[in-house]
Amino acid sequence: MELRNLKTFQVVAEELNLTKAAKRLKYTQPTISIQIQSLEKELNHTLLTRVGKKTMLTSAGQKLKGHVNHLFDLIEEIERDMEELHGPTGILIIAASEYYCTQHLPPIVKSYTEIYPEVKISLLPLNTVHAIQSVRDHVADIAIIANECNDSDIKESFLEKEHTFLVASSEVSNRKSVHDILREDTFISYDRHCSFSNINEQFFKERGIKPHSMIMVGGSDEMIKRAVLNGTGYGILGENAIKNEIKDGTIIILQQASKSIVTSSINLKFRSEEPNIQTFNAYLQNTWPVSNFFSKSDNIQIQDKEIEKELDLLL
């Protein structure tokens, strides 16, 4: 059977009107009639019948229509797969937190698209919980997350392990001891739906205390940092989010939290070999800006002297 004749039949079966089918295919009506007749002769079945002025499919025509539709869907899939072998192309959607979308990913995306100009990248700002779900739901192709993902269908690629610290503004920490801050001030927290909330919970559980009062600001590092800087309260943040403020002295480390932030990229395992996903993940591994823990030359001010000793061992 010739694909050309099968394609003609598919269009005729959809239109059930030879004039409309001829217009779509840019054939003459006699050409379409000849192709249908050739197919009927080859299959030894009548495919179309006339009932009054209407053209209808016979039972054989209806069965053939189903097979033909499936055949051309498969052909389109083959063509797409073969086209992808030429290199990454199309749209790549990356879900990540607001912090990653604004701080880490822009230069990576820029340099990646210079290498692969046929790929158009769209960043989707989502917290870790929603980013993971967006990958599961095929909304995002890749997600950058700051938590473990124990899903057997998801491939996880490690990017960075980041220390976390209890911090306050220099103005607050100069007036109060760590003990007084914990006893009197407001804790600026991620909400309970954020993956970082377990870092906060573990910190207070280990010390056997509870915050005097608490304000939840969602999953934004930037919002917590701003609240700390303006003296609204104290918070727990990753070193990347506060490195500049630590260096310029506007934020002071009170204590180090025991739990770190582990950053990874994730994607569905069965999609790992797709050119866009494969090349971007490989590029991330080589370009992700891994933070080196604060060096002694940074002259960091530590409020808690016992923690300062612990940090000296780490540096």
For 45-59, write each residue's pLDDT tens digit.
Answer: 999 998 888 899 999
The residue with greater pLDDT, 156 or 308, is 156
Q: For domain 3-84, which architecture applies?
A: Orthogonal Bundle (1.10)
**Dihedral of the alpha carbons of 288, 289, 294, 299, in degrees to the nearest 10:** -170
- CATH class of residue range 90-160+264-287: alpha beta
Instruction: For strands 154-169 and 234-238, give the pairing.
Output: antiparallel
CB 194 within 8 A of CB 219: yes
pTM of the model: 0.61
Q: How many residues appear in the chain?
A: 315
Q: What is the mean pLDDT of residues 274-278?
A: 92
Distance separating alpha carbons of residues 16 and 69, to the nearest angstrom: 15
Mean pLDDT score, 1-24:
92
What is the Cα–Cα distance from 27 to 15, expressed in whole angstroms?
A: 14
CA 303/CA 63 separation, integer angstroms = 78
> What is the predicted pLDDT for the residue at 113?
95
Angle at the Cα of 206 from the Cα atoms of 203 and 211, rounded to 5 degrees: 55
The answer to whether domain 3-84 and domain 90-160+264-287 are alike in fold is no
Helices marked H in 137-188: 170-175, 178-184
Has residue 299 got a pLDDT over 50?
no
Q: CB–CB of 213/180 below 8 Å?
A: no
Tens digits of residue pLDDT in 36-94 = 999 999 999 999 998 888 899 999 999 999 999 999 999 999 987 787 666 788 899 99
Confidence of residue 197 (pLDDT cuts 50, 70, 90): confident
Quote the DSSP letter at residue 117.
T
Instruction: Report residue 283's pLDDT band, with 50, 70 and 90 as the boundaries.
Output: very high
The pLDDT of residue 302 is above 60: no
Q: Which residue has the higher pLDDT, 101 or 315?
A: 101
Q: Give the lowest-confidence range in 1-15, 126-140, 191-205, 261-275.
A: 191-205
Judge whether 9 and 47 are in contact, CB under 8 Å: yes
Q: What token pair was written down for 166?
A: 């209890």
- Distance, CA of 262 to CA of 58 (rounded, Å): 62
pLDDT of residue 292: 59
pLDDT tens column, 153-167? 999 999 999 899 999
Domain boundaries, the chain: 3-84, 90-160+264-287, 163-260+295-314
| CATH 3.30.9.30 correct for 163-260+295-314 | no
Which residues touch 296 (CB under 8 Å, ≥6 apart)?
Answer: 315
On the question of pLDDT at 114 being above 50, the answer is: yes
| Tokens at 289, concatenated | 């800006």
Quick one: pLDDT band at residue 310, thresholds 50, 70, 90?
very low
Res 192: pLDDT: 73
Tokens of 34: 């000849």
pLDDT > 60? residue 7: yes
